[in-house]
């Protein structure tokens, strides 16, 4: 059997049934669909480029020569380690799913591009590329040649920030408003039915002016509604723009018929008013979304700290307080929060947070390192060369590389309700139109149009995003930082809570530390502190703060095993510091206690014993939570604290100790297999696997300099006592959404009653529709603000 080659992907197939379309062969319906998308959007030059990549049209040759200037390129790039570079380009022409598909498959056109990711709302594409195989000029020329020319201004080169300009909606509102106002003036004689010779003589002329004025309204201002409705129908989806588009189309066609047949003046004033008020509502929604987006970028910074070195003293400061020129200390497993230059120490940087590439990069003193990398070796000192960008850290936290595939059932419910709602409205409009056609054919058009407009499920669709968006902002005010709004819904479904012990329900700031064993010399204590300086484990940090002296940096072969301990060579001696199983001490006394063991070379020295101090309010927190949730304590420590915890915590609390990181993950999985919705609270370091596995992972931060994308929530430790209230507010938020659904349905039932009875004109319906949407937004905003008042107490 002869092989056929797929025109789109190049697959040779002699077994699958091939598809012939437009005299071209495709191996499957997927490839055929992609070709149709490109063909419909006049992007078939994609295939020419793939067959001859690098061929740039003559009209853009030389236009981007300035991108060969390294100084300009350096200011545009957001990441550059000499081999891999990342840039985010603003592309105003992104408008549909086919655009996303093409732009996220740029690696097929240029082999030097590793990946490309589109942010559709902001109309940007984030490109990761290999500087050895391609350059920025080639990438920009490629984008321009396939009709996606990026917007790059001088301001971008000077500030490194992209200017996002999109005033298209404002222009459409202006056009519709201009036509609406003038159409009403021109229609005044028609309103009052003035019988005057010259008015009657020029009446057809003014009616044709109304027709001409309505053309830009329908084909420009209302274009997005038609485009969205058509694309939805092509995919078998009845979205909320279908009834709106039908209403506009019916009104325009009926009015055009009356003008052409000279049987009436049409409804062009109502038509332009309808589009104007629809766009006003859309503009209001867009501005509100932008406001919520700004609040998230500004408020949702990570409450982690970074160690600043000033006058040979170390102090922990919030990352947003870092300034250019500050000297910072970066330990093992810490995120580098800012672009900087290494002052001392050797770095092994994991840039997978930024690029997705897992291979660590070695850097020495004097080298430049970029924000978003993670130090995998011993401690280093860097000098900040930029200020911290909170929005950039938020972007890292929300990177698709770490996005968990968690169901968003509420969104699916909203979509399904909108779908059936739209079907019902179309049936009501059809039946009402037929009924009124036999009673009053002129009134039929008004009835159908009013039904299609007033019953738009916009308010229904707005309930969830505005409720959850506002709660996201409110939680951020109280140092409860959520990765995205859908986490609130997951919180509302949780029925099982799992808490790590050390650093989560215990405080790392105030601990009593006792030493038992052979006496350590001052030099040995200083060496222990120097080694612990590299570690971020809560016990390491507590012991580091407890020991006196200024730590040294001459450390070799540093190694940390998460959940177990650290090992390093300093001054020719090998130090092993960590848990009992890791250090393997010779004594067997007091196994059930929280301790850090020390061994120098092969000689066991002793242990530092910690007397845990539990967080303020931990008893009331567990008491409140036990009423509605299954509670568990999951710890890597031994059972030394178990008798005490059994006395102070609710009787039904489960205790599981001596758990390694993998064991914690398995514990979460076992609970989920029993249909439990699990919320895990941990320190974000040893618990990263369990946090990722849980339905909602919460990292409790107390000046711990570790960033983990595995968590869905970061809570400041000072807010620990408010955990029951945060969970309660999540449930109340879902109740507000359901209540707003009821209000939306009431709006539509009342509106439909007047529309079906013929007592509601299209222009009035166009005014009421955005008002109903706005009122829903106001309602959910007020309600969420009211329920959040409890947080102030």
**Residue pLDDT, tens place only, 116-134:** 888 766 778 889 898 888 9
Orientation of helix 762-787 relative to helix 458-477, angle to 10°: 30
| CB-CB neighbours of 616 under 10 Å | 13
Angle at 63 between CA 62 and CA 68, to 5 degrees: 70
Residue 2 pLDDT exceeds 70? no
Average pLDDT over residues 641-659: 86
Percent of the chain with pLDDT over 70: 72
Average pLDDT over residues 447-457: 70
Confidence tier at 677 by pLDDT (50, 70, 90): very high
Give the pLDDT confidence score for residue 547 in this predicted structure.
86
* pTM listed for this prediction: 0.60
Residue pair 165/92 in contact by the 8 Å Cβ criterion: yes
Question: Which of 48-52, 343-347, 579-583 is the least confident region?
Answer: 48-52
Give the pLDDT confidence score for residue 281 in this predicted structure.
65
Residue pair 323/386 in contact by the 8 Å Cβ criterion: no
Give the pLDDT confidence score for residue 8 in this predicted structure.
58
Which has more confidence, 705 or 450?
450
Give the CA dihedral 745, 749, 750, 752, nearest 10 degrees.
130
**Residue pLDDT, tens place only, 683-722:** 766 677 788 788 898 888 775 555 566 678 888 888 889 9
Average pLDDT over residues 198-209: 77
Confidence tier at 303 by pLDDT (50, 70, 90): very low
With CA atoms as reference, report the closest residue to 484 among 387, 411, 388: 411
Residue 791 pLDDT exceeds 80? yes
Average pLDDT over residues 158-180: 71
Give the pLDDT confidence score for residue 6 in this predicted structure.
67
Which has more confidence, 792 or 720?
720
Residue 80 and residue 130: Cα distance in Å, rounded?
10
250: part of which helix (H) or strand (E)? helix 241-261
| DSSP bridge pairs for 634 | 656
Beta-strand runs (E) in 412-526? 480-482, 496-499, 512-517
| DSSP bridge pairs for 715 | 480, 700
Residue pair 277/177 in contact by the 8 Å Cβ criterion: no
Residue 215 pLDDT exceeds 90? yes
Q: Residue 663 region, left (φ>0) first, then alpha (ψ -120 to 50), else beta?
A: alpha
Question: Which of 364-373, 515-524, 615-624 is the least confident region?
Answer: 364-373
Give the CA dihedral 721, 726, 731, 732, nearest 10 degrees.
110
**Residue pLDDT, tens place only, 748-768:** 788 778 878 777 766 666 566
Residue 20, token pair as written in the block? 């012939």
Give the pLDDT confidence score for residue 508 in this predicted structure.
66
Give the pLDDT confidence score for residue 49 in this predicted structure.
44
Which has more confidence, 251 or 412?
251
Residue pair 713/386 in contact by the 8 Å Cβ criterion: no
Residue 236 and residue 239: Cα distance in Å, rounded?
9
Give the pLDDT confidence score for residue 141 in this predicted structure.
85
Mean pLDDT of the chain: 76
Residue 406 and residue 740: Cα distance in Å, rounded?
25
Angstrom CA distances, 260 to 199, 257, 266, 711, stand at 19, 5, 10, 64
Give the pLDDT confidence score for residue 54 in this predicted structure.
37
Give the pLDDT confidence score for residue 33 in this predicted structure.
54
**Residue pLDDT, tens place only, 66-84:** 787 787 788 788 888 778 8
Average pLDDT over residues 569-580: 88
Residue 244 pLDDT exceeds 90? no
Give the pLDDT confidence score for residue 763 in this predicted structure.
60
Give the pLDDT confidence score for residue 411 in this predicted structure.
45
The three-state secondary structure class of 69 is: coil
Give the pLDDT confidence score for residue 15 in this predicted structure.
44
Percent of the chain with pLDDT over 90: 8
Tokens 């209540």 — which residue?
739
With CA atoms as reference, report the closest residue to 452 among 212, 221, 271, 237: 271
Mean pLDDT: which of 7-21, 384-398, 410-424, 608-622 is highest?
608-622
Tokens 């359901």 — which residue?
738
Give the pLDDT confidence score for residue 709 in this predicted structure.
60
């Amino acid at each position: 059997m002869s092989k056929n080659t797929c025109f789109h992907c190049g697959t040779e197939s002699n077994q699958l049934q091939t598809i012939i379309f437009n005299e071209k062969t495709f191996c499957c319906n997927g490839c055929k669909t992609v070709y149709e998308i490109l063909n419909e959007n006049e992007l078939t030059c994609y295939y020419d480029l793939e067959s001859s990549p690098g061929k740039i049209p003559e009209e853009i040759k030389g236009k981007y020569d300035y991108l060969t200037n390294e100084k300009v390129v350096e200011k545009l790039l957001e990441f550059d380690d000499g081999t891999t570079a990342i840039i985010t380009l603003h592309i105003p022409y992104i408008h549909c799913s086919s655009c996303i598909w093409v732009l996220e498959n740029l690696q097929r056109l240029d082999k030097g591009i590793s990946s490309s990711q589109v942010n559709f709302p902001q109309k940007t594409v984030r490109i990761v590329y290999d500087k050895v195989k391609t350059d920025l000029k080639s990438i920009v020329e490629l984008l321009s040649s396939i009709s996606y020319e990026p917007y790059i201004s001088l301001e971008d080169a000077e500030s490194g920030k992209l200017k996002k300009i999109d005033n298209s909606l404002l222009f459409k509102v202006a056009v519709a408003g201009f036509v609406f106002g003038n159409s009403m003036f021109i229609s005044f004689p028609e309103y009052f039915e003035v019988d005057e010779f010259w008015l009657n003589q020029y009446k057809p002329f003014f009616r044709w002016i109304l027709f001409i004025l309505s053309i830009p309204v329908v084909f420009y201002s209302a274009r997005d509604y038609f485009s969205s409705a058509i694309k939805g129908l092509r995919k078998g989806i009845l979205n909320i723009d279908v009834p709106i588009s039908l209403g506009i189309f019916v009104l325009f066609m009926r009015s055009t018929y009356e003008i052409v047949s000279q049987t009436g003046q049409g409804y062009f004033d109502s038509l332009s008013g309808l589009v104007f008020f629809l766009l006003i509502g859309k503009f209001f929604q867009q501005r509100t979304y932008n406001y919520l987006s700004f609040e998230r970028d500004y408020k949702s910074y990570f409450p982690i700290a970074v160690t600043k070195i000033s006058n040979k003293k170390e102090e922990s400061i919030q990352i947003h307080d870092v300034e250019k020129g500050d000297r910072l200390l970066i330990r093992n497993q810490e995120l580098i929060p800012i672009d900087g230059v290494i002052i001392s120490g050797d770095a092994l940087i994991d840039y997978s947070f930024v690029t997705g590439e897992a291979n660590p990069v070695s850097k020495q003193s004097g080298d430049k390192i970029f924000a978003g990398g993670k130090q995998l070796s011993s401690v280093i000192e860097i000098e900040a060369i930029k200020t911290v960008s909170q929005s950039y850290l938020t972007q890292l936290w929300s990177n698709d590389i770490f996005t968990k595939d968690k169901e968003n059932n509420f969104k699916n419910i909203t979509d399904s309700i909108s779908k059936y709602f739209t079907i019902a409205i179309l049936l009501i409009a059809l039946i009402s139109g037929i009924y009124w056609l036999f009673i009053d054919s002129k009134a039929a058009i008004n009835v159908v149009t009013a039904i299609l407009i007033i019953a738009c499920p916009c308010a229904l669709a707005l309930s969830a995003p505005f409720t959850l968006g506002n709660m996201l902002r409110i939680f951020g005010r109280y140092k409860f930082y959520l990765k995205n709004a859908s986490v609130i819904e997951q919180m509302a479904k949780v029925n099982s809570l799992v808490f790590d012990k050390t650093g989560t329900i215990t405080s790392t700031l105030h601990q009593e530390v006792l030493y038992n064993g052979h006496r350590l010399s001052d030099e040995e204590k200083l060496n222990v502190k120097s080694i612990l300086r590299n570690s971020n484990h809560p016990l390491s940090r507590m012991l580091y703060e407890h020991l006196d002296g200024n730590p040294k940096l001459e450390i070799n072969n540093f190694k940390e095993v998460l959940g177990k301990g650290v090992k390093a060579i300093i001054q020719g001696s090998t130090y092993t510091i960590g848990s009992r199983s890791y250090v393997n001490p010779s004594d067997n006394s007091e196994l059930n206690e929280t301790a850090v063991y020390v061994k120098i070379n092969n000689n066991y020295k002793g242990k530092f014993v910690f007397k845990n101090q539990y967080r303020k309010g931990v008893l009331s927190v567990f008491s409140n939570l036990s009423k509605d949730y299954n509670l568990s304590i999951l710890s890597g420590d031994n059972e030394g604290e178990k008798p005490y915890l059994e006395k102070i915590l609710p009787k039904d609390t489960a205790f599981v100790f001596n758990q390694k990181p993998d064991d914690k993950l398995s514990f979460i999985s076992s609970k989920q297999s029993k249909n439990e919705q699990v919320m895990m609270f941990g320190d974000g370091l040893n618990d990263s696997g369990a946090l990722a596995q849980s339905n909602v992972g919460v990292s409790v931060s107390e000046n711990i300099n570790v960033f983990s994308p595995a968590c869905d929530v970061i809570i400041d430790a000072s807010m620990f006592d408010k955990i029951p209230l945060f969970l309660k507010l999540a449930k109340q938020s879902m109740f507000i959404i359901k209540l707003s659904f009821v209000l939306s349905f009431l709006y539509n039932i009342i509106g439909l009653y007047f529309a079906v009875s013929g007592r509601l004109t299209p222009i009035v319906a166009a005014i009421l529709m955005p008002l109903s949407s706005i009122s829903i937004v106001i309602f959910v905003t007020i309600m969420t603000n009211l329920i959040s008042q409890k947080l102030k107490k």
